[in-house]
Amino acid sequence: LDRLLAASEGETISPQTQRRIVSQVGHFLDWAVYEGQVKENPFKTVRVEAKAKVNHYAALTDPEVARLVQLQDQKIGVLLLFCLLSGMRAGEAAGLVWQDLVWKGNLGWFCHVRPNEVRTLKTDAAERVVPLHSSLSPLIAQLPQSGRLFPGLSVNTVTKRFATLRAHAGISRAGVVFHSSRKWFVTQCERAGVPEHWTASIVGHQSARSENRMTYGIYSAGISDEQKREIVEKVGLPGHYVCHP
């Protein structure tokens, strides 16, 4: 509960956080009832009346990406590059450990996004194997060779630091948050003509436009590592930026 409260920004708790708190307390009390510790769950009647506000995130533009990466921020700069060039969420990247990296010879480095000792995943579809862009290879050698790749970073610290970088880069558009890096990656894939369900397999989404996505998921074994590599390499940082260790 303390962690949920700490993750809530501002003086009030969002409806989403309220629901998570009520849900977790409710699950605990259901367990207590099952174990015979209490007769009934008093949280059964608790309801969150506030309506959840849907966040509309804007995709970063190429000039904005160029300004952000040129800052070469010492705290989250490398993590930002990982997310821009793979479509990973902030929590997925911040929770990576060395064992999540997989070397596949001629195909280069891949990252196994999966639950580990650091974090869980948002959905079942979020578990996936993602090729790391070839331009990230020089940076991988500089990361810790055991344990967490980005020690000390959490979603909270990443998003707050990004707000500072956004100001330094002169980006004031509404809706530009760290998640905008993920939307930029998806946008680049779309502009490169990558089929939506292929992009979805990279970023850990179900294909929203597939009328028969459940059947497709059952019968398809998914795209190959070679195809995934080709997709990721279509995305390049604007301004011919080169990743330096």
SS (H, E, C) 48-80: CCCCCCCCCCCCCCHHHHHHHHHCCCCCCHHHH
pLDDT averaged over the chain? 86
Structure tokens at 49: 């009346």
pLDDT score at 241? 63
Q: CB neighbours (10 Å) of residue 224?
A: 10
Report the predicted TM-score, pTM, of the whole model to 2 decimal places.
Answer: 0.74
C-alpha 26: how far from chain center? 28
Higher pLDDT, residue 84 or 13: 84
Higher pLDDT, residue 126 or 164: 164
Give 102's DSSP letter. E
pLDDT score at 243? 66
Which tens digits make up the pLDDT trace of 177-211?
Answer: 999 999 999 999 999 999 988 899 899 876 544 44
Which tens digits make up the pLDDT trace of 96-111?
Answer: 999 999 999 999 999 9
The rounded distance, in Å, linking the Cα atoms of 44 and 46 is 6
The rounded distance, in Å, linking the Cα atoms of 19 and 30 is 16
Which tens digits make up the pLDDT trace of 78-92?
Answer: 999 999 999 999 999
pLDDT score at 16? 78
In the sheet where 101-103 sits, what is the strand order?
A: 101-103, 109-113, 128-131
Over range 69-83, report the average pLDDT. 96
pLDDT score at 219? 47
Q: Whose structure tokens read 């290879």?
A: 137
Residue 112 half-sphere exposure toward CB, CA atoms < 13 A:
11
The kind and range of the H/E element at 130 are strand 128-131
pLDDT score at 152? 92
Which tens digits make up the pLDDT trace of 128-168?
Answer: 999 999 999 999 999 999 999 999 999 999 999 999 999 99
pLDDT-based confidence at 8, cuts 50/70/90? low
